[in-house]
Amino acid sequence: MEESGPRGGYPPDYARDEIPTISGYPGGQTAPTPQAIDFTPGHLLGCASGELGLCRFLEDRGHTLVVTSDKEGADSTLDRELPETDVVISQSFWAAYLTPERIAAGSRLKLAITAGIGSDHVDLPTAIAHGMTVAEVTFSNSISVSEHAVTQILTLVHNYMSAHEWVTTKKGWNIADAVSRAYDLEGIDVGVVGSGRIGQAVLRRLKPFDVTLHYCDVHQPGKEFEEEPELTWHPDPRWLASSVAVLSIHTPLHPQTQNLFNDELIGAMGRGSYIVNTARALIVNRDSVVLALNSGQLAGYAGDVRYPQPPPPDHPWPTMPYEAMTPHVSGSALSAQARYAADTREILECWLDGRPIRPEYLIVEGGGLAGTGASSYTVAG
C-alpha cells in the first residue's frame, strides 16, 4: 500500500465535489461492478489510511485487514504478517514485492491482487508453482496513464519544465533561454511500444496533433488499426525506434521487455529523440538513459516509474538533464483511485463468494498465465 497518507493532512475540501461516472471502456469492458462500496468516489483511497475503502466490508465478513507501507527490511510488517496471510493486495506505486522467498514464507498465500495494473512485482513463475491466483484491475487507470503520457510528451517537446522554472525558481523573463529547446509536436513521427489498452489510448489522443503515428506490438494489427491509414505497424522495436522522434513505452515488464531500451536501441533512434516511460523502469536501462541525455542522443526523458519503488536516494534520474519525471502518479488520479478501489472489492467479493473473477482481471490462475496475463505476459521458461 502507498505511503500512510497525505503529509499535509486530508484535504478539508477536495478541489472538485464529484468525479464523472464512467460506465465502460473502449472495446466494451464495463467499469467495476462490486455489490456495494463503502467510500466516496473522488476521495483519497490509495494511501494506507484510505485502505481502498475495504476495511468495513472485510471486517463485516469476519476477516482481518492489515494495512501497511512497511515492506522492506528484515523485520518489516509485511514479512511478519505473511505467514498468516491469505491475500496480499498491493499497488505498483508502492509495491509489495512478492519474491520467491516471500511466497515461500507465505504458506497460506492464495491470491495476490494488484490495485492498479502491472503485476511484475509478483514473481509470476513462483506464484504459478505455488498454485496462487494473481489478478489486477485491468483498465481501471489505463485512460489516466494515457493522459499523463500525452502530457509528458508535450512537456518534453515544448520544454515546459524549463520555461516554468524561469517563472518560479529563477524569477526571470528569459524567453530566449526558455525556448532554446522548445518545439511543436505537429509534423513529428511519434510511436508507442505496446498497443494494448494504454498504448491505443495514447495513439487516439495524439491523432489530433497532426503527427505521424507508429506502433510496435508482438501481434498482427487489429482490424480497427488496419483501417487506420496514418498508422504504421512495426513488428520489431528497432524498426520503430529508428522511425520516430518521440517514443512512449506501454508494454508490461516481462522477460521479453526487460532492459529492452539499452544503449543499442536508444542508439537506433535519431539524435535528439524523446522517450516517455510510464510502464516500468526496468524496461529501460537506467544508465543508458543518463548517458543518452548527457550526450544529446536523447533530448528528453519523462515518465513516472523507477526501480525499486520508492527509489534509493542515490538514484541518478532526478539529477540528469532534460528530464520531466513525476513520482508514480499517472495511474493514481482520484478518478482512477475510485475505480481501482471498486475493482479490488469486486475481485474480493468474487473470490470470497467462490464466483469466477473476470478473465480480463486474471494474470495467473490454475497453474499458468490466464486471462489478460496469457496475452500480455510471458514467464521465463
Residues that bind ligand NDP in the complex, under the rule CB under 6 A:
116-118, 141-142, 145, 193-199, 216-219, 250-253, 256-257, 278-280, 304-305, 328, 330-331, 372, 375-376
| Closest-approach residue to ligand NDP (CB) | 196
The active-site residue out of 102, 280, 306, 345 is 280
CB of residue 302 to ligand NDP, shortest distance in Å: 12
CB closer to ligand NDP out of 162 and 257? 257
Cβ count near 145 (within 10 Å):
27
Per-residue buried b or exposed e for 319-354, using 16+ beta carbons within 10 Å of the residue's own CB: ebebbbbeebebbbbbbbbbbbbbbbbbbbbbbeee
CA distance 237 to 189: 15
C-alpha cell at 22: 464512467
CB closer to ligand NDP out of 57 and 274? 274
Q: Is 309 a catalytic residue?
A: yes
CA distance 107 to 38: 31
CB of residue 226 to ligand NDP, shortest distance in Å: 15
Q: Is 280 a catalytic residue?
A: yes
CA distance 278 to 301: 11
Phi-psi sector, 190: left (phi>0), alpha (psi -120 to 50), beta = beta
CB closer to ligand NDP out of 77 and 258? 258
CB of residue 181 to ligand NDP, shortest distance in Å: 25
CA distance 190 to 201: 14
CB of residue 211 to ligand NDP, shortest distance in Å: 20
The active-site residue out of 141, 152, 159, 297 is 141
CB closer to ligand NDP out of 50 and 194? 194
Specify which residues 356 forms β-bridges with: none
Q: Is 159 a catalytic residue?
A: no
Q: Is 328 a catalytic residue?
A: yes
Residues in CB range of 71: below 8 A, 6 or more apart: 77, 78, 94, 95, 96, 97
Full strand arrangement of the beta sheet holding 362-365:
87-90, 111-114, 133-136, 362-365, 368-369
CB closer to ligand NDP out of 32 and 196? 196
CB of residue 316 to ligand NDP, shortest distance in Å: 20
CB closer to ligand NDP out of 117 and 178? 117
CB of residue 197 to ligand NDP, shortest distance in Å: 4
The active-site residue out of 159, 200, 277, 309 is 309
Known catalytic residues are 141, 280, 309, 328
